[in-house]
């Protein structure tokens, strides 16, 4: 679903003024009206603390149970545009905007897009790059099998689903950061050619634990399931099947390989022990970009080696 980011990136923003264009009392009404009038799209609006949430039903969110179609990307981008315009031109103190898209044909499946309002402002004034802005949007998929089962009950189950009220949870900044860091660690191992050659990402989970008994503050905790591709030893076929008596062929092969690599820089071969420090670099980088320091420490667990890396906030060398 990575294609969704460029499509949902740029918006046409309204300018700031002394008087809010969309007063808090009329935010819901304004969003519903704008989506209907400009894009002929029906939405529902709700609030939770400082989070503005919009529900958007779609007939074909997934195309062939794989990924959204180009038309769906366009619809999502249109609604995000409206949300951004309103969030930046209201007297309501919104910190996050969340768009929940539900597939009307696949019960229980949701696509959730979340943006930090401050990131939108910084992008507008050129304080962060386009690439960085893209990486700062959270995109999550959720699937609740119980809803699918309830639909199988029959008409009564489907009617109950239709009556279900739309609600969201308030987005907390540390939780937003933890999820973003998790995705960035995965992206780093998948996008860096050297790392991708040496590792395979199975799963990465991150969370912020607000209260820890023995610490003055919360901690970021990450669980990594990243498999090393170097665990398997080289097969005999890789080294060739030269008979022991054919010394000339063996020496020639060694000389040929040495000459081949002589003129180019030798690439670093990463080991499984490198997973923790590489991940910590990404954690520190994101926290520094947001200048977020309100936490006690970081804990990263490598599930494959059983080893963990624990760093106190004061030991990060900010």
Per-residue pLDDT for 17 more than 60?
A: no
Residue 284 in any domain: the answer is: yes
Q: Is the pLDDT of residue 241 over 70?
A: no
- Say what the pLDDT of residue 234 is: 42
How confident is the model at residue 51, as a pLDDT?
Answer: 97
Are 166 and 304 in a shared domain?
no
Q: Supply the pTM of this predicted model.
A: 0.79
Residue 210 pLDDT class (50, 70, 90 cuts): very high
Question: What integer is the mean pLDDT of 167-190?
Answer: 96
For residue 304 the two structure tokens come to 């494959």
In a domain, 278, yes or no: yes
Does residue 43 carry a pLDDT above 90? yes
Q: Which pLDDT belongs to residue 195?
A: 94
3-state SS assignment for residue 65: coil
Q: Which of 89, 78, 112 is nearest to 24 (CA)?
A: 89
pLDDT at residue 1 tops 80: no
CATH of the domain at 301: 3.30.70
Looking at the structure, tell me whether residues 99 and 130 fall in a common domain.
Answer: yes
Q: Looking at the structure, do residues 118 and 147 belong to the same domain, yes or no?
A: yes
Q: Running DSSP on this structure, what letter comes out for residue 63?
A: B
Are 218 and 110 in the same domain? no
Report the distance separating Cα 290 and Cα 292, nearest Å.
5
Enumerate residues 6+ apart whose C-beta is below 8 A from 133: 9, 119, 123
**Residue 97 CA to its chain's centroid (Å):** 15
Residue 15 has pLDDT above 70, yes or no: no
Residue 237 lies in a domain: no
Of the ranges 57-71, 105-119, 152-166, which one carries the lowest mean pLDDT score? 152-166
Q: What CA–CA distance (Å, rounded) separates 2 from 6? A: 8
Q: What is the mean pLDDT of residues 162-171?
A: 76
| Domain identity same for 136 and 216 | no
What confidence category does residue 257 fall into, taking pLDDT thresholds of 50, 70 and 90? low
Q: Which of 124, 143, 171 is the last residue of a domain?
A: 171
Is the model more confident about 235 or about 124?
Answer: 124
* 278 — pLDDT class (breaks 50, 70, 90): very high
Same domain, 136 and 196: no
- Cβ pair 182, 201 in contact under 8 A: no
Domain boundary, last residue among 129, 146, 171: 171
CA distance linking residue 142 with residue 293, whole number of Å: 30
38 and 123 part of one domain: yes
Task: Dump pLDDT digits (tens) for 102-139.
Answer: 887 776 778 999 999 999 999 999 999 999 999 999 99
> Which among 214, 50, 205, 191 has a CA at the least distance from the CA of 131?
191
Q: Which domain holds residue 191?
A: 180-230+269-315
Edge-to-edge order in the sheet of strand 308-312: 199-209, 219-228, 297-302, 308-312
- Cβ-based burial of 40 (10 A; exposed 0-12, middle 13-18, buried ≥19): exposed
* 153 plus 289 within the same structural domain: no
Residues 185 and 52 in one domain: no
What is the chain's percent helix, strand, coil content, to nearest 5?
45, 20, 35
The pLDDT assigned to 65 comes to 55
Residues 82, 303: Cα–Cα separation, whole Å: 42
User: Are 162 and 290 found together in one domain?
Assistant: no
Low-confidence winner among 21-35, 65-79, 228-242, 301-315 (lowest mean pLDDT):
228-242
Number of structural domains (the chain) is 2
DSSP state of 26: G
Identify the residue with better confidence: 167 or 155.
Answer: 167
In a domain, 151, yes or no: yes
């Amino acid at each position: 679903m990575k294609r969704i980011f460029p499509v949902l990136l740029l918006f046409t923003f309204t300018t700031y003024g002394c008087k809010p264009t969309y007063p808090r009392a009329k935010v819901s009404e304004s969003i519903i009206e704008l989506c209907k009038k400009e894009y002929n799209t029906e939405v529902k609006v709700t609030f939770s603390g400082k989070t503005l949430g919009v529900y958007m039903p779609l007939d074909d969110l997934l195309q062939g149970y794989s990924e959204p179609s180009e038309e769906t990307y366009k619809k999502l981008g249109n609604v995000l545009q409206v949300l951004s315009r309103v969030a930046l031109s209201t007297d309501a103190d919104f910190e996050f905007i969340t768009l929940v898209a539900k597939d009307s044909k696949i019960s229980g499946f949701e696509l959730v897009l979340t943006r930090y309002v401050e990131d939108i402002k910084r992008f507008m004034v050129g304080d962060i790059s386009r690439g960085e802005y893209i990486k700062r949007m959270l995109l999550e998929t959720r699937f609740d099998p119980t809803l699918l089962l309830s639909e199988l009950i029959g008409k009564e189950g489907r009617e109950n689903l239709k009556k279900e009220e739309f609600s969201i949870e308030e987005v907390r900044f540390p939780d937003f950061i933890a999820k973003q860091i998790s995705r960035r660690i995965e992206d780093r191992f998948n996008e860096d050619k050297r790392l991708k050659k040496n590792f395979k990402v199975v799963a990465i989970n991150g969370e912020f634990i607000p209260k820890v008994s023995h610490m003055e503050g919360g901690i970021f905790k990450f669980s990594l399931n990243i498999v090393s591709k170097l665990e398997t030893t080289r097969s005999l076929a890789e080294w060739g099947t030269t008979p022991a008596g054919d010394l000339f062929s063996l020496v020639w092969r060694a000389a040929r390989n040495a000459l081949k690599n002589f003129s180019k820089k030798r690439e670093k071969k990463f080991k499984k022990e490198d997973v923790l420090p590489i991940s910590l670099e990404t954690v520190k980088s994101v926290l520094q970009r947001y200048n977020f320091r309100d936490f006690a420490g970081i804990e990263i667990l490598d599930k494959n080696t059983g080893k963990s890396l624990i760093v106190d906030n004061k030991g990060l060398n900010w």
